[in-house]
Structure 1
Amino acid sequence: MSTAPGTAGKGGALPVVSRERIAQHLQFLEGVRHPVAAPAALQRACTYLEDSLRALGYAVDLHGFLDGGEQYQNVVATRLGTRRPEQRVLVLAHYDTVAGSPGADDNASGVALLLELATIFKEWRPELTLQFVGVSLEENSEETGTGLRGSRALASFASMQGWQIEAVVVLESVAFAGRSVRQEAPAGVPLQVPETGDFLAVIGNQASQGLVSRFVLAVESFGVVLPVVPLVVPGNGELLPDTRRSDHAPFWDAGYPAIMLTDTTNFRNPHYHLPTDTVATLNLSFAARVCEATSAFLLGLACGEGEAPR
């Protein structure tokens, strides 16, 4: 059953996550979404995000930025906070892919969970302003070899505008997992990484250590059946470059607290950035549990009022 997000707590119920809706989003998004190899599909994904979030009743703005002389869009959906609207919680996922991959895990999975979270919280009135953001051009550019262009533009804009961001939650490849999946780890990680790839990694920098702890506590408090491996890296992750490979890094660099939720991508998924990264390879039960865990975290972070749908 569902319960009011503002009153759910230890032993309480979470909003009900729909595997069917997650699957529908994945099926729509699957396919190369790239500014050069498939620009029409990239724009189609942008429009899908915009239309879906508007239909849920959010105020939606397009944050435009230039890259290589072309205009691209981050999609920003906003629900103003009831008591502290000047303080924000952002949930991000990138909707582009590399040129040669349909990008089901990387990162249609993150976008699908973002849209599911926006759906289950569409009637919620959070105390803090809650924003769901689809960012473009996370993947590396063939021309410059740099990525994170959409999130870097957004973090820069937020800094210039003086946004008070309490947390950024980045959903990065969150649907490849299983008890038979072999897990590897980047060199230098200061913890024992499980050998089985059935867990969610929660990555934060020193300034985000509190968010990492709160995410783990939320999973435990709500009884979400999801193994979680937390990692807090020194500074902004400079000594462990693999921990900077998504849209949280520009927010770290701008001084904002941010965490990345990830299945660890190429350290687990043999289909990473390949034509075989399809919906058929994904674990939708795992993705749904990640969505539940994230909803529990958001409930505690931006507590408010209003019913979540059943």
Structure 2
Amino acid sequence: MGVGHASVGFGLVIVLLWKTMGAAMDRELLIGHSMDLAAVEKALRRHVQVLTVEIGERSVLEPSGHARAARYIAETLQSAGLRVWEEPYPYGPITVANILAETGPENARRRYILGAHYDSLVGTVGADDNASAVAVLLETARTLQALEPTLPVSVQFAAFALEEPPAYGTRSMGSRVRARHAKRVGEHIDGMICLEMVGYTCREPGCQRYPFPLGFMNYPSTGDFIGIVGNFASRFLVRAMERSFKKNPSLPVITLTVPFNGWLIPTVRLSDHAPFWDAGFPAVMVTDSAFYRNPHYHTVHDTMDTLDFAFMARLVQSLVIFLGEPMV
């Protein structure tokens, strides 16, 4: 082939690649930005209403409420068209279960877990902690399932049975059960995304606090952003999510990568991502920063009237953009 023909051929390849990449980017942005956020917000309100008002306390010491929450999650995922199954395990005299569902092609090159615990602290209805996260999980699952024929990744949705005390930090945490099993059977997991308290915002300067020494850094003093926290081994996942989330400018995002699996700042380990860190899987926590922002944390005042459902709907949008986009 002569030089002229080679140049034309090379140029044609570049054009085709550009068009392919552009189409993929257009598709991913269309997926997120064409969402009916008002409808998503309405659905989020309904989920939180059921979990916190109709069911109420979902602690392991209130087994009837805990079981009703599990059924609601399973039925909601099933009604969205997902295949749902349980991962049961004993806790004292009762049996609890992680509720699992999956969407996306079986031969997908990447596989993620999107997880949130559905129990609440004893004596509370846990609207932000953690009904907000369960609601976001359910709406993300419903949206991605509708895209399933063209979804480029496989996503497992995991509603963890137990995270709050008295199970916290024990082998009975639902995320520990899930991570332990995944490691034992050699599951391929490119990233675990933990949703932990994702519904509270505050906009008065100084309302947002940080653990030491992050308070000395140039982080925002108002709490209208979503945080993404990963360990050093998860830094590529953190960066990929940050790039993707920034395509949705309506939801500011702040990221943090910590060394030594977070042990230097122990409060960044206080959720369901930490068992996956400890098992060697890439994992991040997506959060409103919990008690560093929300004054109702672990109190009876953590009710649905304190939540920002528009903020939560934008988080669903950002998650769909990330999980619905081409490989990163």
* Structures share fold, TM-score greater than 0.5: yes
Tell whether 2:144 aligns with 1:121.
yes
| DSSP 3-state at the match of 2:190 | strand
| CA offset digits 1:106-137 (Å, max 9, x no partner) | 00000000011111112222333211110011
Q: Distance in 1 between matches of 2:120 and 2:90?
A: 18
Structure 1 match to 2:212: 187
State which of 33, 57, 60 in structure 2 corresponds to 1:13: 33
Q: Distance in 2 between matches of 1:13 and 1:109?
A: 22
Structure 1 match to 2:239: 213
Contact 1:14 1:292 in 2 (8 A): no
> Partner letter of residue 123 of structure 1?
A
Structure 2 match to 1:106: 129
Change (3 A) 1:152 1:280: same
- Unpaired runs of 5+ in structure 1? 304-310
Structure 1 match to 2:50: 28
Structure 2 match to 1:204: 230
Tell whether 2:308 aligns with 1:283.
yes
| DSSP 3-state at the match of 1:7 | helix
Change (3 A) 1:4 1:110: farther
| CA offset digits 1:54-88 (Å, max 9, x no partner) | 11111111001222343110000012425327x42
| CA offset digits 1:216-239 (Å, max 9, x no partner) | 11122x333112110000021111
**What are the within-5 Å matches in structure 2 for residues 253-292 of structure 1?**
253-292=278-317
Contact 1:83 1:127 in 2 (8 A): no
> Partner letter of residue 270 of structure 2?
R
Tell whether 2:275 aligns with 1:250.
yes
Change (3 A) 1:127 1:103: same
Change (3 A) 1:12 1:139: closer
Contact 2:152 2:326 in 1 (8 A): no
Change (3 A) 1:112 1:148: farther
State which of 112, 116, 126 in structure 2 corresponds to 1:93: 116
| CA offset digits 1:16-50 (Å, max 9, x no partner) | 341000000010001211111x2111110000001
Moved more, 66-75 or 186-195: 186-195
> Partner letter of residue 198 of structure 1?
D
RMSD: 2.4
- Structure number with greater Rg is 2
Structure 1 match to 2:18: none
Task: Please state which structure has a larger fraction of its residues in helix.
Answer: 2
Q: Distance in 1 between matches of 2:96 and 2:218?
A: 40
Q: Distance in 2 between matches of 1:192 and 1:146?
A: 35
Contact 1:88 1:164 in 2 (8 A): yes
> Partner letter of residue 121 of structure 2?
V
Moved more, 118-127 or 59-68: 118-127
Tell whether 2:173 aligns with 1:149.
yes
Q: Distance in 2 between matches of 1:132 and 1:122?
A: 11
Contact 1:237 1:244 in 2 (8 A): yes
